[in-house]
Amino acid sequence: MDPACIGDVLDDVRRVARATGTEAIAEPLVAGWQARIDAVTQRAARARHQPRVLHLEWSDPPMCGGHWVPEMVEMAGGINCFGDRASGSFTLEWADVVASEPDVIVLMPCGFNVERALQDVPGLAAKEGWGSLPAVQNARVYAIDAGAYTSRSGPRLVMGLEMLAELVSGH
């Protein structure tokens, strides 16, 4: 199992269920997760605006989210400032971050919780250009529990997607 996108995670659940003879238990769960994913993507498709989203898996050096995170942002109705389904996580130059003018910033340090994400804020706020970012000016900078909702492959990625959709939509 080495999922690269949300669909791969669901497929892995099915694969484990087949190997353990628990398909009858797993399939309704997977169908429910898929229905929730579909609900998010359908709402996002109706949105009038797609904000530019900076997802930071790390702040020093700054790194954008990888694996399924760019896909989650797109499914939630956002436009990735950096990364896509194929690129994985990579280091960003701070000047490029400022030039990307994100409408939404999501701090999601890989494998860590909200408290750890909040520890990155002073360092980011001290960087040149932080205060000029649209997300900062419009109070659309968020910290999430990446360890629970974006870093690990599993069913909680669906809840992470739902959370991202709320953050991206501004509701």
Q: How confident is the model over 124-162, as pLDDT tens digits?
A: 999 999 999 999 999 999 999 999 999 998 999 999 999
- Are 157 and 145 in contact by the 8 Å Cβ rule? The answer is no
The count of structural domains within the chain is 1
Residue 20: per-residue pLDDT: 98
Burial of 36 (0-12, 13-18, 19+ CB in 10 A): middle
Beta pairing class for 141-143 and 104-107 = parallel
**What gap in Å lies between CA 160 and CA 106, rounded to an integer?**
12
Residue 84: per-residue pLDDT: 85
Residue 88: per-residue pLDDT: 83
**One-letter-per-residue 3-state SS of 99-136:** HHCCCEEEECCCCCCHHHHHCCHHHHHCCCCHHHCHHH
**Domain range holding 87?**
1-170
DSSP letter (8 states) at residue 53: E
pTM confidence score: 0.94
CATH number of 2's domain: 3.40.50.1980
Cβ-proximal residues to 167 (8 Å cutoff; 6+ apart), any chain: 76, 104, 106, 140, 142, 144
Max distance between CA atoms of the chain, in angstroms, equals 56
Task: Quote the tokens at residue 108.
Answer: 């999601």
**What gap in Å lies between CA 28 and CA 60, rounded to an integer?**
41
pLDDT exceeds cutoff 80 at 122: yes
Over residues 21-42, the pLDDT tens digits come to: 999 999 999 999 999 999 999 9
**What gap in Å lies between CA 78 and CA 40, rounded to an integer?**
12
pLDDT band per the 50, 70, 90 thresholds, residue 1: confident
Over residues 58-92, the pLDDT tens digits come to: 999 999 999 899 999 999 999 999 988 788 899 99
